Amino acid sequence: MTDPIRPPGKTTIAPEVLVTIVRLTVLSVPGVSRLATNPTEVERFFNKNTSEGIKVSVEGNVAYADVYVVLKPDLNVREVGHSIQAQVTRAISEMVGMEVGRVNVHVEDIDYVAQAEA
């Protein structure tokens, strides 16, 4: 089997694309109620790779993500965190073809208020 011939050129991916992929993936994980706000950092105002609840950085061809989430009550927090890590890693690898260095999950709160209103 022969390898397909690639035309000359370069493909670039905007950092906002990675943020969108991570955001949609995290929100689709069972147990995630919503994204939390990132801790206040001065660099956040100057960093285009930061969005509410998501921080993505790229070094070479390796992506690193920090995800800040609020979870639903009555579930195993550790399992949800591992699921977030696995699904974000898979999404970035499959959709963009980048290696993922790490996905840090920061559980900021449990959404007991949403349960009381339901």
Strand 62-71 vs strand 99-110: parallel, antiparallel, or unpaired? parallel
Rounded Cα–Cα distance for residues 89 and 20 (Å)? 14
* DSSP per-residue string spanning 9-20: ------HHHHHH
**Residue 86, domain member (yes or no):** yes
What pLDDT digit, counting tens, does each position of 30-57 carry? 999 999 987 655 444 555 545 689 999 9
Q: Which two tokens mark 116?
A: 């009381």
Q: How many domains does the chain have?
A: 1
**Residue 10, domain member (yes or no):** no
Cα-based angle 76, 78, 83 (whole degrees, multiple of 5): 95
CATH number at residue 22: 3.30.70.1350
Q: Which domain holds residue 113?
A: 15-117
**Residue 2, domain member (yes or no):** no
What pLDDT digit, counting tens, does each position of 85-109 carry? 999 999 999 999 999 999 999 999 9
What pLDDT digit, counting tens, does each position of 56-94 carry? 999 988 999 999 999 999 999 999 999 999 999 999 999
